[in-house]
A and B are shown apart, each in its own frame.
Chain A
Amino acid sequence: MANDLAIETRGLRKTYRSRRGASVGVRSLDLEVPVGGVHGFLGPNGSGKTTTIRMLLGLVRADEGEMRIFGHEVPDRLPAVVRRIGAIVEHPKFYPAFTGRKNLQILATGIGVPVRRVDEVLDSVGLGDRGKDAFRKYSLGMKQRLAIAATLLKDPDLLIFDEPTNGLDPAGIREIRETMRALAVEGKTVLVSSHILAEVEQVADTVSIVSEGTIVSQGRVADLLSSRTAATARVLVADPARALNILQDAGFVVRGDGEALIVEGVENPADVTRTLALQGSYVSALVPHKADLESVFLELTGTAERQSGEPTEGVAR
């Protein structure tokens, strides 16, 4: 296993069993997070992001598979690396009745960090003057910031944030994004899970896309996008059914989308216009649509499949 990986999982599998039956958390999940930078962990709801993070942190037991963090086998060797990992899983969870400061003081005492560090990290997330308030009186944004402060107690090399912007307002989202970027600049590795593409696209250097418990694609965000630079074009014509046939005969990948046609893999939009014009079908509008992570994501996670009822290519299963 490579040493330049902060996180590496192989064949990870987890099935939740309860009285109501079994539900698959993740199946055969191979995640690779390089050291340094922000790594997006992208997937729709229920795709297994939180489950994976819980397994990495030893909160949930994997049924099968191997995991390594900084080369250490986890969960067995977790005690050796836990000081290098700061994590927030789902909502920040602290003692509701304790003050923010008390909550952090207990954590600091538990790991042998001097208690004066608590005030430093509280200040660094802008909670310096609210440390005396009970956790339950915090707004969601403040809870989130307290959780970040808690991870900073350890001065970790790897930060794991599970949907950190959930429920935050735009200012809060931006703040979290800047925090993550700043951590990456300091040379730390940040793993951020999200089901919001825009978020990952804006902040992440590398990304893993997970769907139904397996990784369907991973790599640099830039590479993922450039592999699909060929744009999609949305075409409006008077007679879409006829135009669809014309374009298909000419070898384009086309599908109907209401009154419009979606043409994929268009290198030069003029090709579309010319082909149609030659057959007497005139384009009333053509909107080139450059690939973004969103379309890649929808394509890879099969959400688009379900929407258009058409198979899509490039799903690495």
Chain B
Amino acid sequence: MRLLRAESMRFWARTLIRWAMVAGLVVAGLVVLGSWSTSTPPPDEVQASMQADFDASVKDWEDNGETYVADCLAAEKADAEELGEPLDYECDEMGPPVWADYAYFATFAGEGLSTVQLSLLLVALLTLGVGVTFVSAEHTSGAIGNWLTFEPRRSRVYWSKVVAAVLGVVPVTVVMVGLIAGGSLWAYDHHGALGRFDLDQDLRPYVEMGFRAAVLALGCAALGAALGSLLRHTAIVIGVVAGWAILVEAVAANVFDAIKPWTLVTSMNAWIQGGTAVYVTECDATDDSGMLCDWVEHPVSQAQGGLILTAVVASIVLASWLVFRRRDVA
């Protein structure tokens, strides 16, 4: 408990960490601002021309609708006879124009939600960075050696740092997630642009998504602390994380897309979005002509994503602990 208090003092005394948090709040504010401007209805003259287009289409349908349907049915029949198999041109689905097709308004169900989901990953990135710099600074400056002459029990020292990093980012995580998720929803709602997002029905899963994003961010703080302790220099951690992102998440996942369902990016998307899907090429040998390849949609469940992320964070945090327990400190 004393150690945790000391680590918390250390955490909050770091100017870099405080600035990172301010930057995080600014970013969250910008996301809300973006949602606000995206969801702002277009100016009157644009709306008027949309309305004019719509009215013209309605009139066209009223005048010629029946002819269009008849033409469609005729074409369907003719082509089917020519091919000798039944066809469906979906003529019965033709109907009067829909206003939504003419009003190009961004909706929360459309643009808003995916922007929110993407922005929530930024929270995790921030807490990762905070965790790294919090712990690595002590190794780089050598202050850890001095600290160990006050508290030689390495495990306690290590875990108090990890826990302090996680607790330390709780406020910024809560505020950022709340701002990004709540603020964006509010902005779209304010402009009456929720689209197919139904406040009664969809709000609860939406809140749960924010909660999962916060959990991810806290996990990333622990991961950052572990990486900072393991690699000891912020620059090395940045190199390793960037190297992994480029080589594995980007390059390897494109070359061998069979690994796509298992990458960290996919897992994070699945975890936050409550399941996602990736497209994987699957090739089969055909009898004579060689290979036949196909884009196959591969669903990734939220549980799978969560499990992979938990496994990665837990194993790195534990490995870093084992290393720190035995390592020579200069």
Give the B-binding residues of A (Cβ under 8 A): 16, 54, 57-61, 75, 78-79, 82, 85-87, 89, 91-98, 102-103, 105-107, 109-112, 147, 150, 154
Known: A96-B141, A107-B147, A110-B151. 19 other contacts (CB 8 A): A54-B330, A58-B148, A59-B148, A61-B328, A75-B152, A82-B150, A86-B149, A87-B149, A89-B145, A94-B143, A95-B10, A95-B13, A95-B141, A103-B143, A106-B10, A107-B6, A107-B150, A109-B9, A110-B147
A-B contact pairs, 26 of them (CB 8 A): A16-B328, A58-B152, A59-B148, A59-B330, A60-B328, A61-B328, A82-B150, A87-B149, A91-B142, A93-B141, A93-B142, A93-B145, A93-B146, A95-B141, A97-B15, A98-B13, A102-B9, A103-B143, A105-B9, A106-B6, A107-B146, A110-B6, A110-B147, A111-B2, A147-B146, A154-B150
Option from A75, A82, A95 in Cβ contact (under 8 Å) with B151 = A82
Per-residue 0/1 for B138-176: is the Cβ within 8 Å of any A Cβ (1 yes, 0 no)?
100111011111111100000000000000000000000
CB pair A61–B326 under 8 Å, yes or no, is: yes
CB pair A111–B9 under 8 Å, yes or no, is: no
B91 at the interface (CB under 8 A from A): no
Which residues of chain A are within 8 angstroms of B328 by Cβ–Cβ distance? Answer: 16, 54, 59-61
Which residues of chain B are within 8 angstroms of A16 by Cβ–Cβ distance? Answer: 328
What distance in Å separates the Cβ of A116 from its nearest Cβ neighbour in chain B?
15
Which residues of chain A are within 8 angstroms of B10 by Cβ–Cβ distance? Answer: 95, 106
CA distance A85 to B141 in the complex (A): 22
CB pair B5–A82 under 8 Å, yes or no, is: no
Which residues of chain A are within 8 angstroms of B3 by Cβ–Cβ distance? Answer: 110
What distance in Å separates the Cβ of A125 from its nearest Cβ neighbour in chain B?
16
Which residues of chain A are within 8 angstroms of B153 by Cβ–Cβ distance? Answer: 79
Option from A89, A96, A97, A109 in Cβ contact (under 8 Å) with B5 = A109
Total number of B residues with any Cβ neighbor in A under 8 Å: 27
CB pair B149–A82 under 8 Å, yes or no, is: yes
A151 nearest CB neighbor, chain B only: B149
B326 nearest CB neighbor, chain A only: A61
Interface of B is mostly: helix
Option from B6, B141, B148 in Cβ contact (under 8 Å) with A94 = B141
CB pair B150–A94 under 8 Å, yes or no, is: no
Which residues of chain B are within 8 angstroms of A103 by Cβ–Cβ distance? Answer: 143
B103 at the interface (CB under 8 A from A): no
Within 8 A of A (CB), among B1-54: 2-3, 5-6, 9-10, 13-15
A95 nearest CB neighbor, chain B only: B143
CA distance A244 to B143 in the complex (A): 58
Option from B6, B14, B142, B329 in Cβ contact (under 8 Å) with A109 = B6
CA distance A2 to B136 in the complex (A): 42
CA distance A16 to B327 in the complex (A): 12
B137 at the interface (CB under 8 A from A): yes
Per-residue 0/1 for B291-319: is the Cβ within 8 Å of any A Cβ (1 yes, 0 no)?
00000000000000000000000000000
For the complex of A and B, 8 pairs with smallest distance between CB atoms:
A110-B6, A93-B142, A109-B6, A78-B152, A60-B328, A59-B329, A58-B152, A87-B149
Which residues of chain A are within 8 angstroms of B330 by Cβ–Cβ distance? Answer: 54, 59
CA distance A278 to B153 in the complex (A): 72
CB pair A79–B152 under 8 Å, yes or no, is: yes
CA distance A109 to B8 in the complex (A): 10
Option from A75, A102, A150 in Cβ contact (under 8 Å) with B146 = A150
Which residues of chain A are within 8 angstroms of B141 by Cβ–Cβ distance? Answer: 93-96
CA distance A59 to B326 in the complex (A): 9
